[in-house]
Amino acid sequence: MGKETTTLGTIHISPNALATIAYHATLTSYGVVDLAPKNLAEGITATFTREPAHGVAVHYSGEEIDIDVHIIIEYGTRITSVANSVANAVRFQVEKALGMPVHHVNVHVEGLHVSDSK
């Protein structure tokens, strides 16, 4: 992934590290209940292990970082507001940690969660 060479050595940043940052930024966003699996294989894997970046995919090509986030939101919240908030939070946290601009943050709303009214 990202690689920077300094006088002390080389720094490598893995996509999993960025996915973990994006995961935590997403969960702290208003209206987000949980992250959804990216695909069926991840859904099956998630039942056996708890991957720290579940629901987040990081794609890196040269100088461009693209992040896909799959979320489940609370029923009754404004979907576009929650999606925009997640995209902004992920972009801010990753850029702050990495020091590189994020090209795209794609937010996929995979479902709604209806809270128990009791």
**Domain spans of the chain, in order of start:** 15-113
Q: Which residues pair with 33 in a beta bridge?
A: none
- Residue bearing tokens 């990753």: 94
Q: What is the CATH number of domain 15-113?
A: 3.30.70.1350
* CB-count burial class (<10 Å; 0-12, 13-18, 19+) for 109: middle
pTM assigned to the model: 0.81
pLDDT at 2 over 70: no
Closest to 26 in 3D by CA, of 91, 110, 104:
91
Q: Which amino acid is at 79?
A: I
Phi–psi pair at 17, nearest 5 degrees: -65, -45
Closest to 23 in 3D by CA, of 70, 78, 75, 77:
70
pLDDT per residue over 69-115, tens digit each? Answer: 999 999 999 999 999 999 999 999 999 998 889 999 999 999 998 88
